[in-house]
Structure 1
Amino acid sequence: MSNLSAGKGTDAPILFKAGTVIFAQGKPSKYLYLVKRGEVRLIKFKGQNLSAIQLCGERDILNEVAILTNKPNELTAIAKTDVELVLVDQKDVLSVINSSPSWIPEIFETLCERLKHTQDMIEEHNLATEKDPRLVMSKDEEKKYIQALADFNSQG
């Protein structure tokens, strides 16, 4: 994953192995991610407890709220399977939006606020795992995810 260190997005998909942290809750964002292949689990940490929020697959977009609002990630994304992602640099996304008519950024801001509110409601009422049993994590998976995030955070 050396092309990530250069800070440039790429059109070529990048492979993330199963169990790899893609982005972490509380950290600033650099990329919007387009899922080309595989599955990514979005989770939220509350202390040492995990809440599964969503399971993303082919053609899903990850990290849109953090990129569009320029706020730290509210979720952690971990590759559930080997996954190929296309990375789009935040600067490129914002450049396209800012070169649009003045009302476009306002629409994106409103959509992000609504999406965040919806995510908060899903988490608060634990609706995700009730609707999608694939989100239920075993204790072993939880331990692996906690360790993967600790390793990710220790890398800086």
Structure 2
Amino acid sequence: MLEPARTVAIFQFSSPVTFVAGEIIFSQGEPGNIMYGIIEGEIEILVDGKIVETLAAGDVFGEGALLRPDHLRASSAIAKSDCKLAFLDRERFLFAVQETPLFALEVMRSYSDRLRRLSQRFVTECG
């Protein structure tokens, strides 16, 4: 089974994009119509300016904005290191979900794993 980031790369229309360390990929509150899969590098996810998680190769992010009716970003994403990212717009994301149901399950698993890690961290820090 392919990891979600590799599936994103298969369904994208053009070449992966690159970001240098420290570069902003997207900002909290802005409209979003693209999700990303990390091919190389690490990404930091921030909420209200605080780092809440670090993602690595194989992870996907930004999918929430594709699913929400308002399409707004709930977080910011910044390249922690130089990165190569695959990407899908909403139309290609929906096509990938329709044509490859396992992709949808893997994205859901990834999202669930991230939520579980954040919940455990919250309990540890606030507990």
Query: Which structure 2 residues correspond to residues 98-117 of structure 1 after superposition, within 5 A?
Result: none
C-alpha RMSD over aligned residues? 3.3
When normalised by structure 1's length, the TM-score is: 0.55
| Structure 2 unaligned blocks of 5 or more | 1-11
Deviations 1:65-99 (A, max 9, x none): 22233431111000011111011111111234357
Q: Flag the 1:38–1:90 CA change in 2: closer, same or farther, 3 A.
A: same
Equivalent residue for 1:33?
36
Alpha-carbon separation, structure 2, partners of 1:77 and 1:68: 17
Alpha-carbon separation, structure 2, partners of 1:112 and 1:68: 15
Equivalent residue for 1:65?
64
1:22 to 22, 25, 46: 25
When normalised by structure 2's length, the TM-score is: 0.66
Alpha-carbon separation, structure 1, partners of 2:13 and 2:124: 35
Amino acid at match of 1:31: I
Amino acid at match of 2:35: L
| Structure 1 unaligned blocks of 5 or more | 1-8, 102-106, 128-156
Q: Flag the 1:75–1:98 CA change in 2: closer, same or farther, 3 A.
A: same
Rg larger in structure? 1
Aligned residues: 110
